[in-house]
Amino acid sequence: HDWLSVQVHPSAEACARLGHGTAKTEAWYVAHAEAGAVLLAGHYPGLDPATLRLAAQGGTLRKWLYELAPRPGDMLLVVAGTLHAVGPGFLLLEVQEPSDTTYRLYDWGRHGLDGQPRPLHVEEAVASLAYERAGPPRASRHEVAGPRFAMRIMHTGAETAPGPLRVWAADRGAVLESERGETPLRAGDVVVAETADGVVRVKSGACLLLSEV
**CA dist list (Å): 45 to 48, 51, 56:** 9, 12, 17
Residue 180 is a catalytic residue: no
- d(C-alpha 28, C-alpha 73), whole Å: 10
Distant-in-sequence, close-in-space partners of 28: CB < 8 Å, separation ≥ 6: 70, 75, 76, 78, 86, 92, 93, 94
Q: Determine which one of 53, 104, 133, 201 is catalytic.
A: 104
Neighbour-count burial for 9-29, b at 16+ CB within 10 Å, e otherwise: bbbeebbeeeeebebbbbbbb
Residues with a catalytic annotation lie at 104
